[in-house]
Homo-oligomer: A and B are copies of this chain.
């Protein structure tokens, strides 16, 4: 068990691509999108089952590796569509790692950046491509995005 402190932002330009790697494709769906969230994720050749407690900024999280074939079957049969399909890029700046999620499928065009911090008020340098913060906006939680018909209004 760990507690995540994450801040999430919109991305306003393509400038991040120059410093980011090729990324990992993630496909994920939800067995439950209420409290707690129960998520199935395929990450490249690996797969995980993740349970997240209540809260947006800091929340309890339990994550377990599972057989990729189980994840494939549960995404196909037990997770309500649409399945989230995105590529996660990592980019390090000033010793902090940004995760930049480039969405495909029903959310094509959406790009979100996340940073993991040790405390809610930890200072960090804002990259030039960083847009508005959406940490507290429930429309940009992954569980909500999995229920969406398209980009948040």
Contact = CB atoms under 8 A, between A and B. Distances in A.
Interface in A74-102: 74, 77-78
A60 to B, nearest CB: 7
A49 B64 contact: yes
Interface string A52-87: 010000001010101001100110011000000000
Contacts of A49: 49, 51, 64
Interface of A is mostly: mixed
Taken together, the copies of this chain in the complex come to: 2
Interface string A19-62: 00000000000011011101000000000010101000000101
Nearest to A32: B32
Taking residues whose C-beta sits less than 8 angstroms from the other chain, chain A's interface range is 20 to 34
B1 A73 contact: yes
Contact of A32 (B1, B38, B70): B38
Nearest to A79: B36
Interface of A: 1, 31-32, 34-36, 38, 49, 51, 53, 60, 62, 64, 66, 69-70, 73-74, 77-78
